[in-house]
Structure 1
Amino acid sequence: MVRIFYKEKKQIRKENDVRMLSQIPNVIWVDLQSPSPEEEEWIESKCQVSFQTPQEIVEIESSARFFEQGDMMVANSNFSKIDQHGYHSYPVSFLIKNTTLFTYRQGDSKTFADTVKKMRVYVEPFETGIDIFLLLLETRIEADADLLENMSREITNISKSLSNEKKPKQEILLKINTLQENSMMLRESIIDKQRVLSSIQRSRLFPESYRERLRIVLKDISSLTEYTTFNFERLEYLQDTFTGLINLEQNQIIKIFTVVTIVFLPPTLIAGIFGMNYQVMPTILHPYGFYLALILMMLSSTAVLWFFKRKHWI
């Protein structure tokens, strides 16, 4: 699907028929969402642009994330989203030629839908495709901030549940591990944008009048990076706390086994002594010898328990 946005007087119009592209004046944004090969070829021939393949878009080398070709700037970045299956990232390619923005992506995205809504509400500021490009980035940063806030709430809930749980559960550790993975994924996405925008800021093709706004965007991205670091530190703290609680529980179990073993050592010693098979054995013929041995066993165990209690070991 291809959406063509153009400015007519003070209104932003949209055209979905790609064949009308050559007849539309003042085109500021061409959005290619999972385009067909025919649509992609049509736009490339009419606008004299060349889109990268999906494999080239996801390359992580600096030369693949941002480069210039004549009068074109090409920037590739990863956007994040959350659904019922968790956090995911998807690549988006931006191409700016003269004053027209071209975006190439696979699948739908709430960021682009929100950007279109803002364009319809605030018409005046959008004169060129660079305005749309910066608006997309600002909208994406707001979405990333919402994801971080959502993640922070999940971390707070885990912290509260960990405080209320007398016995730590395995599910909590799995949640912490999942949030750590999501936090790293989101941090990678934010740092990727920071790297790409830093390259754009140094570009000779990027208009000087937009550089101050771009610096503000980079500043917002830096604050998000710090926030992801804070979230990751909180998760590490919770993981250490969980591990400490597990160790305490295991130590308590080992302590119980140790006390039980030591308590039964003196009775075992007494039983071993009185169970020796010698012909001459004191009290072996005593009518109360058996009961005397039982009393000694009970007294020895009681003495050990009293000693442990006095030392506050149990």
Structure 2
Amino acid sequence: MLNVFRLSNGRLFQEEIETSAIEQTQVQPVWVDLEAPTREEKEWISARFGVVIPENIVDDDLEESARFYEEDNGELHIRSDFLIEDGETSRNVRVAFILHAGILFSVHAEDLPVFRLLRLRARRIPALIEDAKDVLLKLYDADAEYSADTLEGIYDSLEKVSHRVLKQDVDDHAAGEALTAIAREEDLNGRIRRNVMDTRRALSFMMRSRMLNAEQFEEARQIMRDIDSLDSHTAFLFDKINFLMDATVGFININQNKIIKIFSVASVALLPPTLIASIYGMNFKSMPELDQPWGYPFALCLMVASVAAPFIYFRRKGWLR
């Protein structure tokens, strides 16, 4: 999908480009966004703007040195990861940026919430964007804000898990659900930390390359400060996640110990009647249960009493609770 945006009266507007007439389209955009681009769209970009988009431009196995560099012709190449959090699953999507002749080209495999947020703001807020570098900075700014909003969602989710684990009786089913929720939030928190780290690296490269003017440089510094403020939140969430994980595992161990305690008490209680039965089952020349009419009832009563005595003792000690 090809999305072309131009500036008009300080606002960002999207140009309607028909695929059938893409070769005859003549526009002077500030931002060209390609979502899973086709060969025809790439050829139009190459013919219209002189920018060659490789097939592996958004591959995840690029070397670190290939993520931020500048071509001899002045093209600036940046590879960045953007977060997608859609409830059950979360992932980082690689986006390739090319800054050429005052136009920002972005290539990605799927639609991103940060891009939708910027398009919405740029249409409503006048003078938000002045050139292609402003588009790139605003994307990173929206990415930091999106990460902060996602962190707030993690706070809310962990609060629910904390209420379930610490204020209610936790059986194995509830503990399993809590562990699943904790693992999901831990994975999301780790992806946010990776995302903000990647954004920090991209902004640092832009600031070192001296491509920004004074106002844009100050805006990049402000975004860096916002990102730095997120680090303490992610660190706190990691500690909270570890605490809830340990607490949940502890409740699981308590439930398992209760089961083991039942078997232990049962095995101890059954030892005396087993001993009595083995004694009465020995081959004597004169067997008491045969010589006395009350022999068998006495043996059975003695076995029952030997079982009841340990249970009464354990109950008084509180070991059966």
TM-score higher than 0.5: yes
Cα distance between partner residues in 2 of 1:173 and 1:294: 49
| 1:62-98 deviations in Å (ceiling 9; x for gaps) | 2122111132221111111133652122221122235
Q: For 2:242, which of 236, 239, 258 is the aligned residue?
A: 236
| 1:4-49 deviations in Å (ceiling 9; x for gaps) | 322344454432335577553xx42222233332322232343333
The 5 A counterparts of 1:299-314 are 299-314=305-320
C-alpha contact (below 8 Å) 2:82/2:112 kept by paired residues: no
C-alpha contact (below 8 Å) 1:59/1:65 kept by paired residues: no
| 1:196-225 deviations in Å (ceiling 9; x for gaps) | 222222213333432221111122222223
Q: Which residue of 2 aligns with 1:53?
A: 55
- The Cα of 1:256 is off from its aligned counterpart by 0.9
| 1:219-264 deviations in Å (ceiling 9; x for gaps) | 2222223323322332222222221111111111111111111112
Q: Which residue of 1 aligns with 2:199?
A: 193
C-alpha contact (below 8 Å) 1:162/1:168 kept by paired residues: no
Cα distance between partner residues in 2 of 1:60 and 1:244: 42
Letter matched to residue 5 of structure 1: F
Which sections of structure 1, spanning at least 5 residues, go unmatched? none
C-alpha contact (below 8 Å) 1:57/1:64 kept by paired residues: no
Q: Which residue of 2 aligns with 1:215?
A: 221
Cα distance between partner residues in 1 of 2:244 and 2:62: 32
Cα distance between partner residues in 2 of 1:205 and 1:287: 109
Q: For 2:95, which of 84, 92, 107 is the aligned residue?
A: 92
* Partner secondary structure for residue 197 of structure 1: helix
Alpha-carbon RMSD across the aligned residues, in angstroms, is 2.5
Q: Which residue of 1 aligns with 2:39?
A: 37
Q: Which residue of 2 aligns with 1:257?
A: 263
Cα distance between partner residues in 1 of 2:196 and 2:119: 22
- The Cα of 1:269 is off from its aligned counterpart by 1.0
TM-score, normalised relative to structure 1:
0.88
Q: Which residue of 2 aligns with 1:174?
A: 180
* Partner secondary structure for residue 216 of structure 2: helix
- The runs of at least 4 consecutive aligned structure 1 residues that moved more than 6 Å come to none
CA 1:139 to 1:292, structure 2 compared with 1: closer, same or farther past 3 Å?
Answer: same
CA 1:148 to 1:11, structure 2 compared with 1: closer, same or farther past 3 Å?
Answer: closer
Letter matched to residue 37 of structure 2: P
| 1:90-131 deviations in Å (ceiling 9; x for gaps) | 221122235332212223223212211211222224211111
C-alpha contact (below 8 Å) 1:58/1:76 kept by paired residues: no
C-alpha contact (below 8 Å) 1:3/1:14 kept by paired residues: yes
1:140 aligns with 2:146: no
Give aligned-pair identity as a percent. 31
CA 1:265 to 1:122, structure 2 compared with 1: closer, same or farther past 3 Å?
Answer: same
